[in-house]
Homo-oligomer: A and B are copies of this chain.
């Protein structure tokens, strides 16, 4: 198996991503790598002979920034790491691509270069989140703002297969994000999607409100990209606000300071549980090729975990299973 790793555009720089690749190579002896990034930086890092035989480097300095308009940037920056990587992937020379750079650039280059699977209306970006019971999958987090019933239905189909294969559930519970749990809630599109999902061959459990997603009673939460974005960023904002305020509150009293010291190590553990970037990278579902997006602030360990998720995804041939199910539904 050969995978492409985009070294550029992450918060911690190309060295961190590359070190993650080195660690991964020790765990997966059957894996070969195409890394895309500045060659002179890689020269400074020691590589053993074992990896050298399995490593190809595509030299580039260019990459797409988070604040660039992705469609424009993907068209213009032909030598950016993500565009070079997607082209390599599209030619069929590798089994998957992972990037820790701009989400928009991954989405747009995936769509324009790797392209959608046949009959898939829109690819969806997923994320795996912790809950009180198991993990759950949320989709879409991509740029799919105005979604039709058909698009949301396909998100559910793809999310269902992905959850079945990766969360080890025979029949994942799939729910629709809404502002009430009863049938008949929400927009016209959501009401119609509800009816459409009831007819689908999956364990559709109805609507779910955003306050209940952490209960762990559902495995897949389906929503359009706008709601997914609001949801995910609200979780991020709330967590930051709560933990910062906690620190402030504890530091304001003597007893609190001592208590704070004592809970430092368990709190670190908790932060890890809460931090979704610890859950590895997540796929963009519905593309012809396997494309994964890791969190921009991933450290070496998160890179290893992210590549590991992708290898698992490729081995399980989840893309073929999605393609088959989407075709069946047409």
Contact = CB atoms under 8 A, between A and B. Distances in A.
Given A214-B238, A233-B211, A237-B212, A266 B259 contact: yes
The bracket for how many chain A residues form the interface is: 35 or more
A229 interface: yes
Contact of A227 (B212, B227, B267): B227
Contacts of A258: 262
Contacts of A242: 238-239, 242-243, 270, 274
B262 A237 contact: no
Most buried by B among A225, A238, A259, A273: A238
A226 interface: yes
Contacts of A266: 249-250, 252-253, 255-256, 259
Contact of A211 (B236, B250, B274): B236
Given A226-B179, A262-B258, A262-B262, A235 B238 contact: yes
Given A226-B179, A249-B266, A266-B253, A186 B145 contact: yes
In terms of DSSP, what is the predominant structure of the interface of chain A? helix
A105 to B, nearest CB: 14
Number of copies of this chain that the complex holds: 2
Given A211-B233, A235-B238, A239-B242, A262 B255 contact: yes
Most buried by B among A234, A242, A269: A234
A230 B259 CA distance: 34
Contacts of A67: 182
B179 A229 contact: yes
Contacts of A209: 229, 233
A270 B253 CA distance: 13
Nearest to A252: B266
Contact of A245 (B233, B241, B274): B274
A314 interface: no
A170 interface: no
Contact of A132 (B244, B252, B259, B267): B244
A259 B265 CA distance: 11
Nearest to A213: B237
